[in-house]
A = this chain, B = another copy of it.
Amino acid sequence: MKAKVYVTLKNGVLDPQGRAIHNALEALGFAGVNDVRQGKFIELDLADGASDADIDEMCRKLLANTVIENYRVEKA
């Protein structure tokens, strides 16, 4: 079973990586970029017995820092 976890910074949290990408895009001549936010994308290949609660616990304990980050899980 595969699970995809998307970790993004919460609104209002400063995103220096996103800002660096934004500046680099403008330096390369791309106009019309209003904002860039960078997050993480983690693909888990799990044994078939893994429950939603397990995956949620993995996110809360390790994959996301829930003080400043949100996460979303997609099972496939």
List residues of A whose CB falls within 8 A of some B CB.
Answer: 6-8, 18, 21, 24-25, 28, 30-47, 49-50, 54, 57-58, 61-63
Contacts and interface: CB of A to CB of B under 8 A. Distances in A.
B25 A58 contact: yes
A32 B46 contact: yes
Contacts of A36: 42-45
B40 A41 contact: yes
A33 B46 contact: yes
Contacts of A33: 44-47
A54 B28 CA distance: 12
Given A47-B32, A54-B30, A62-B25, A39 B37 contact: no
